[in-house]
Amino acid sequence: MWLSPNMTIVLLAVIWLATVYLALLVARTERGKRDNRWRHIVMMVVLVLAATLLALDQWVYDIL
């Protein structure tokens, strides 16, 4: 799939906003509970998204 540079920037922004929203949502839920399961899930999601961003970053450099 080939995206224009503008669409790539929009995609990265959406991914980052979704990650921040998930982290804040889980942090708010964590306050009242002692269950660390969600924290681990969020950390895995953040790691996967970070790897995706690195891959997309390399892909953008290859195109430009």
Instruction: Collect all residues with Cβ–Cβ distance below 8 Å to 26 and sequence separation of at least 6.
Output: 38, 39, 41, 42
Range of the domain at 20: 5-63
Q: Are 19 and 45 in contact (CB under 8 A)?
A: yes
CB hemisphere CA count around 40 (13 angstroms): 4
62: tokens are 């290859």
Q: What is the model's pLDDT at position 44?
A: 75
Q: Are 64 and 5 in contact (CB under 8 A)?
A: yes
Q: What is the model's pLDDT at position 9?
A: 74
pLDDT in tens, 7-60: 777 777 787 778 778 777 777 766 666 666 777 777 777 777 777 777 777 666
| pTM exceeds cut of 0.75 | no
Number of structural domains in the chain: 1
